[in-house]
Every structure is written in structure tokens, then in C-alpha cells.
Amino acid sequence: MRRVHLIDAHHGQDLVLLSNIFSSSATQVATYYKQRWQIELFFKWIKQHLPVKAFYGHSSNTVKTQIWTAVCTYLIIKIVQKTNDFNVKLHTMMQVLMVPYCSICRLKSCFLINHSRNIISSLLTNWGSLTFNF
């Protein structure tokens, strides 16, 4: 193992990294770790904000497609939230939109604060007893 000592001038911290990269300079190893940390932060953001619980495939194309689909969905919901001045958290909007509706309601009425809580709680309580009239 290789021990690389760095001083983060931006935050004023001393960092010690352990690495098995012997062919690069200490500065280059620090750059690798910084880039790797940005990737970790990106996946943390995905787990916190997007409904990606697991990847459906192992190829890079499948993972990229799933991530881009989730990011596009997030952005569409964010645009709808901003353009309609919905006064609810994004998480609440995503919960309401992810529940399959059996009745028709206007989008704005779904995100009135009391109405959205009622929709979520009633759908979760009656989940096993939903009936359909044809």
C-alpha cells in the first residue's frame, strides 16, 4: 500500500489516502480520489432523490438508460412543481404520482397539502381492498 498525504487548501484539512496506485504521482492519485468521490456523491444523490432501488441489468447501457430515465422523470416532476407553484415537498409529489390512481382528479387538487395527505393515507389503508367498477 502507498500512503499519500494531501493538504486540502479549500477546506484547510490534512488528508491521508491509502492507495495501491504506484505508477502515478501523489497529485494524480489525489485527482483520482476526488473524481471517485464525485461519483460516490452522484450515486448518493440518486439513492436519495430518484426511485431507483436496484438496477435491472448489468451492462453499462442498461444502467445508463435507467439512470437517465430516472433523472428525466425527476426533472419533469421538478418542472411541474415549479410551474404550478405547488407548495409541497418533491418527495410528497413523487409519492402521490407513484401510486396508481383508480379515480380521476386534477393535478393541482392532488397537491393541495391536506388533499395529498388524504390521498396517500387512504390509498395506503385501502390498498388491499381496491375494487373496480366496469
CA angle 97, 102, 103 (to 5 degrees): 90
Each residue's pLDDT tens digit, 9-53: 888 888 888 888 889 888 888 888 889 889 898 888 877 877 777
Please report whether residue 85 resides in a domain: no
Residue 14 resides in a domain: yes
Is there a domain that residue 117 lies in?
no
Rounded Cα–Cα distance for residues 77 and 82 (Å): 9
Asked if residue 119 belongs to a domain, the reply is no
Does 102 reside within a domain? Answer: no
- Say what the pLDDT of residue 129 is: 47
Query: In the 8-state DSSP scheme, what is residue 13?
Result: E
Q: Which domain holds residue 22?
A: 1-49
Supply the pLDDT for residue 133: 45
In the predicted structure, residue 120 carries a pLDDT above the cut 60 = no
Structural domain includes residue 62? no
- Over residues 55-84, the mean pLDDT reads 85
Indicate whether this model's pTM tops 0.75: no
- Asked if the structure places residue 110 within a domain, the reply is no
SS3 of 122, please?
A: helix
Structural domain total, the chain? 1
Per-residue confidence at 74, pLDDT binned at 50, 70, 90? Answer: confident
Is 11 inside a domain boundary?
yes
